[in-house]
Structure 1
């Protein structure tokens, strides 16, 4: 499928040219507000099966909605193994990324010959670049125990390794479609993004072969702590994140563990809330956790990172996409397997432009993730010739806590109707679902 698609830059340019030509040659009379139904689009925070349930008795309103998410083609063997961990699993968003984050952490500790976070951190980028390539966890651990440099290729990290800043140099995005209140896998398309040449070429510290002396001084067992959204606005993403982490833990320990002992996992909730997340981080630090897997949301990671760094621990997120985190002051202790939103912005703009809308609304959470991705999509639309006169930006304040009342999207829905929007991109988590109900209540005709 990738080989037959038009390159994204060309597709954007062609689409923009067609749109501008239509505008120039068409009638001077504006169309009535409701002559074209509004198409809904989503991003990684809401393009998953569980999002439909957030609309309750009006779940059918998601039918026709489409969007993008970081996702690679998942091997059936991997999804079957995930379902062995969680038989009720219906989504796989970031499951591969959480699996790879745990595996990379384990391999880095094995190569470092230590559970000391600073020593592990120095090995993480190198685990994914150079050395002998390996894909199977047991084989990778065997090579690492022998002190051999390795190049891990996992489920999500399968084209290139990490950049110097500790994030994927390349990514795969999926275009997803809602039909019959669920994602229609038959319509899913995949497209690559990023540049393999951005992968780090720096050599990590020399790997330490596993010996009795190394094991004695290693500080094993390696302890990982979860900082995943078991509750809060991003709770709909928790099942696949948790399943991926649990599967990696199981397979690592079945392969003999790390530094001679089974790896330990301590569960923890980020609550999609800074207060909850900070309390979890403090608890993990007190419990001797070496690597924290999370947080789920970029904004939460940004809030807790100073605490993690002050404690000398590693924060390794499977789902943070805020591009500005690439430049955060992390003392070399922050990593992620999810790609930055600078790449997703291009993919989303491509999806929207294919449908040829003349008025576009970009509605986003008022936080670093929402406003960041909103800005990247706007920039890509502008690059394709879609100016400010055809794009409207709206932001909303997400709830402060799970107990807070839901967001009132009534005024936003009316604003979208008055603007005569033909496309609405919703950048949010589960809390953004009421916007769709509000649009329906406002009499906005949705594309189905």
Structure 2
């Protein structure tokens, strides 16, 4: 194409100007290094309002972070009732699941007519299926006292009941967004998952009608907490504790179970197997019938043999490791949280919406972290993200509060060299060190 002399002069002038700005206009000079930008994604272990505090003076790094968690749209009335228990409550994750685990345990004991853990366990799945529908602790307990089968529906259990494995057949996931250092409720989106037809159709033992004015000889029902008061998952404790306390209060206000007020013995799982095992032993010695917990899937795996050996029920509000669906438990393990086989799809969808080129999946090295990491990878592969576009990394979580913080320096360098523009971080409070390492490696967090 012919170019006039004036046009050519203008073009050369423009090129000269561009050369000064970029050191590249038909020359061999290298381009100036650009900042490596990444988007951050999280999961139910770190998408809490309390999480930014783990980064201390660098809390602003979470701005723009997105993630998923098992969560149903919580009614304002339920939130208000939780705040009446804990006025300082700022997070609600797993509060509903904890509330429902306690209420289901109470109804199951009432239907069984006994506090015997084995008898309670045989009723738990049936509490959620194929009976007369009821939506409050008071209504369900009234039916149970009258010897009627119930179908409990409440804040976390809305669409379908439990499967034969003792876990929800369906689930609701929320997509959460950090704006600044707080989760923006206005941006929260909900999506359903699971299959209602997977709910159990088995008939539980016939319920036992309670004689008016009489208590069962083995009452009261004693529940024990195995929740993360300390450790890497301690940021989840306030809403879980509030959910349990609210359930106990409302059960007892409705007349209790088997003619007596339900007793709650608090206990810490420490996000640590040794701490959790000690708490389980204490609960067994104290005569606890149902243990509510543990917080982390790996902790439940660690204590389950002890719980089963003692003939107690373990009922977790927050375990999501899909492998627990088939764990050897003698029919004594249950959960109100859905397995990560469902969450993996929701999480992959959130990441893919932003159109990433390469994705790094970082997970704490335990059954929860590596399990969810595997499910997300599978969903990404189904979407066309092959091995050359996805990088898997793990880190060893600290053994206890006295251990050194996670050092993810080498992992951050791998992610930068891989040129990932999306990083999923599957972990608890300790995962904040991953974000620090990414920033220290020169990666700019996109908002």
User: What is the aligned partner in structure 1 of residue 375 from structure 2?
Assistant: 376
The yes-or-no answer on 1:210 pairing with 2:231 is: no
Residue 235 of structure 2 aligns to a residue in which SS? helix
**How is 1:29-428 mapped onto 2 (pairs within 5 angstroms)?**
34=34, 37-211=37-211, 215-217=215-217, 219-428=218-427
Q: CA deviation at 1:215?
A: 3.2
Structure 2 Cα separation of the partners of residues 139 and 261 of structure 1: 17
Residue 438 of structure 2 aligns to a residue in which SS? helix
Q: Which runs of 4+ in 1 moved over 4 A?
A: 31-36
Q: 1:179 to 1:216 in 2, by over 3 A?
A: closer
1:69-114, CA deviations, whole angstroms, 9 ceiling, x for partnerless residues? Answer: 0000000000000000000100000000000000000000000000
Q: CA deviation at 1:413?
A: 1.2
Q: CA deviation at 1:409?
A: 1.2
Q: CA deviation at 1:213?
A: 10
Q: 1:32 to 1:323 in 2, by over 3 A?
A: farther
Structure 2 Cα separation of the partners of residues 190 and 87 of structure 1: 26
Q: CA deviation at 1:34?
A: 4.5
1:274-332, CA deviations, whole angstroms, 9 ceiling, x for partnerless residues? Answer: 00000000000000000000000000000000000000000000000000000000000
The answer (yes or no) to whether the contact 1:178–1:184 under 8 Å persists in 2 is yes
Structure 2 Cα separation of the partners of residues 443 and 365 of structure 1: 22
Q: 1:272 to 1:314 in 2, by over 3 A?
A: same
Larger radius of gyration: 2
Q: CA deviation at 1:212?
A: 6.2
The answer (yes or no) to whether the contact 2:36–2:443 under 8 Å persists in 1 is no
Residue 37 of structure 2 aligns to a residue in which SS? coil
Structure 1 Cα separation of the partners of residues 319 and 422 of structure 2: 26
Residue 147 of structure 1 aligns to a residue in which SS? coil
The yes-or-no answer on 1:434 pairing with 2:433 is: yes
Structure 1 Cα separation of the partners of residues 387 and 34 of structure 2: 22
The answer (yes or no) to whether the contact 1:305–1:330 under 8 Å persists in 2 is yes
TM-score, structure 1 normalization? 0.92
* Unpaired runs of at least 5, structure 1: 1-30
Residue 275 of structure 1 aligns to a residue in which SS? helix
Structure 2 Cα separation of the partners of residues 336 and 282 of structure 1: 21
Mean Cα deviation higher: 402-411 or 34-43: 34-43
The answer (yes or no) to whether the contact 1:316–1:335 under 8 Å persists in 2 is yes
How much is the aligned-residue C-alpha RMSD, in angstroms?
1.3
Structure 1 Cα separation of the partners of residues 385 and 437 of structure 2: 27
* Unpaired runs of at least 5, structure 2: 1-30
Structure 2 Cα separation of the partners of residues 47 and 423 of structure 1: 17
Mean Cα deviation higher: 407-416 or 62-71: 407-416
The answer (yes or no) to whether the contact 1:34–1:444 under 8 Å persists in 2 is no
Residue 54 of structure 1 aligns to a residue in which SS? helix
Structure 1 Cα separation of the partners of residues 296 and 157 of structure 2: 20
Q: 1:216 to 1:83 in 2, by over 3 A?
A: closer
User: What is the aligned partner in structure 2 of residue 8 from structure 1?
Assistant: none
Q: CA deviation at 1:211?
A: 1.5
TM-score, structure 2 normalization? 0.92
Q: CA deviation at 1:139?
A: 0.9
Structure 2 Cα separation of the partners of residues 437 and 32 of structure 1: 25
Structure 2 Cα separation of the partners of residues 104 and 158 of structure 1: 14
The answer (yes or no) to whether the contact 2:345–2:376 under 8 Å persists in 1 is yes
Aligned pair count reads 417
Q: CA deviation at 1:441?
A: 1.2
The answer (yes or no) to whether the contact 2:213–2:259 under 8 Å persists in 1 is no
Residue 433 of structure 2 aligns to a residue in which SS? helix
Structure 2 Cα separation of the partners of residues 131 and 359 of structure 1: 49
User: What is the aligned partner in structure 1 of residue 9 from structure 2?
Assistant: none
1:127-164, CA deviations, whole angstroms, 9 ceiling, x for partnerless residues? Answer: 00011000011111110000000000010001100000
The answer (yes or no) to whether the contact 2:280–2:303 under 8 Å persists in 1 is yes
